[in-house]
Amino acid sequence: MSLNIKSMSAAGAAVLLALAATSAIAQQNPPRSTKRIPISKEAGGEVVRVDTLVRTDTVTNTIYRTDTLTRTMHRVDTVVVAPPPIPVRLPNGFYLGLAAGTSSPDGSIYIPNSTGFLGQMQIGWQNAKQVLGGRISGTYTSLGQDSQFSLGNNAQLWTMSTDMKLNLPLGHVFGFTPRLNAYGIGGWTYTWFKDLPHRQDEVTINGNDVDINNATLFRLGENSWSGHNGWDVGGGLSLLWGRSEIFVESRVLGFSPNNSPTARQIPVVFGFNWY
């Protein structure tokens, strides 16, 4: 019984191998048909359909970028600025000024007094190229004292002058500016004084003025104000640019106290005028 089963199994295996070999040969040499398939051209006007496939690939690239930003802030503050003051301008040709210097005594006040200081303030009118002008000035003088005639107080003098001024333009000797001028000045004065010792040439006896015949007689200063008319004359140099002027000046201021020769002051001052 077992032999039959084994014989059948061997026979089955042989049949399977034969079938596999036949199938392989058939695939290598496929059967060819002997019937021709007719091929003809396509009819006229017939459109051949062409299908076009477009493939679109979408690629997403993610790039991370770091930028450094600097932020500048401008701050605007509102500031209220007051308008500049309107400059003070004098009428054309008018000027104000100050001066200071020394004053030396002469004439009847020469011996009992010595050189002192002087301050001056002036106002005038004269254009730069104008020859003739005018000036009003006031001066204060404090003279030194001689110990033989001193009562402990220095002589004090106030003088007001009303002058004509003659200007001589010399041109721009230092270039375009400033303008150099020479000038002469003179006019009427009035002088108030006190504590001013001075020489006398006459004395009053019983209400009469008596000549002392060339004797030297000095009168001590009185601690009260007296005033007398007088005169002044002098000159100076000035430099003018824009609305400013500096000057150096010397004058003789004269007046005559009672029963005395002429008393004279000789100031030398340096000053400034503003037009």
Residue type, 166: L
Rounded-to-integer distance, Cα 5 and Cα 1, Å:
7
Q: What is the CATH number of domain 95-274?
A: 2.40.160.20
The ranges assigned to domains in the chain are 95-274
According to the per-residue pLDDT averaged within each range, which of 90-104, 143-157, 248-262 is highest?
A: 248-262
Closest C-alpha among 186, 189, 185, 160 to residue 255 = 189
pLDDT tens digit sequence for 185-243: 999 999 999 999 988 887 666 656 656 666 678 888 888 999 999 999 999 999 988 88
Per-residue b or e along 232-264, where b marks 16 or more CB atoms closer than 10 Å to that residue's CB: bebebebbbeeeebbbebebbbbbbbebbbebb
pTM for this structure?
A: 0.63
Higher pLDDT, 103 or 79: 103
Q: CA distances (Å), 271 to each of 73, 162, 195, 200, 249, in order?
A: 55, 18, 28, 35, 8
